[in-house]
Amino acid sequence: MIEQGQSIPESVLTQLTADGMQKHTSDALFADKKVVVFAVPGAFTPTCSAAHLPGFVALADKIKAKGIDSIICVSVNDAFVMKAWGDAHNAEALLMLGDGDASFTKALGLEMDTETFGGVRSQRYAMIVDNGVVTQLNVEEPKTFEVSKAEVILEAL
């Protein structure tokens, strides 16, 4: 598992925009930027939709006011699902990125096998990345939602 002080591995995440499908490299997302990344086990799932994403949507302005260049939401879903989920939650201030093949999640060592729920998914976490280096990493224990909340990350900034 990635740790504080380590660099984000090379990877590609996807986003559906008005101009079509866009691929974002980890270098483009993180180089010379301060970024908050949070990941969820699945778009449109209960805790993710009721609390995790809405918390970051509600606090996006306050988080960005602390010097954050972007807030990225990642899930092992395709970019079409991530766009629909972002649209359903008014997440215009966030980058809603798909990790359809879980390559980013696996490169971080933060995958989990949910078996019949959906196969390989991401653990729930939030991190602060400064110029490609993880400076804060909060990974949830299974079936909890405490340390990756938007309020916790805002406090850490």
Is it the case that residue 21 has pLDDT exceeding 80?
yes
The 10s digit of each residue's pLDDT in 26-64 is 999 999 999 999 999 999 988 889 999 999 999 999 999
Q: What is the pLDDT of residue 135?
A: 98
Q: What is the pLDDT of residue 27?
A: 95
CA–CA dist 75, 124 (Å, integer): 9
Is it the case that residue 74 has pLDDT exceeding 80?
yes
- Cα diameter, the chain: 41
Work out the average pLDDT over 81-104. Answer: 97
73 is catalytic: no
Is it the case that residue 14 has pLDDT exceeding 90?
yes
Q: Which of 8, 37, 43, 48 is catalytic?
A: 48
Q: Where are the domains of the chain?
A: 12-156
**CATH class of the 12-156 domain in this structure:** alpha beta
Relative to beta strand 125-130, strand 34-40 is antiparallel
Q: What is the pLDDT of residue 38?
A: 98
Quick count: other Cβ atoms within 10 Å of Cβ 47?
16
Two tokens, residue 85: 């989920």
The 10s digit of each residue's pLDDT in 96-138 is 999 999 999 999 999 998 877 778 999 999 999 999 999 999 9
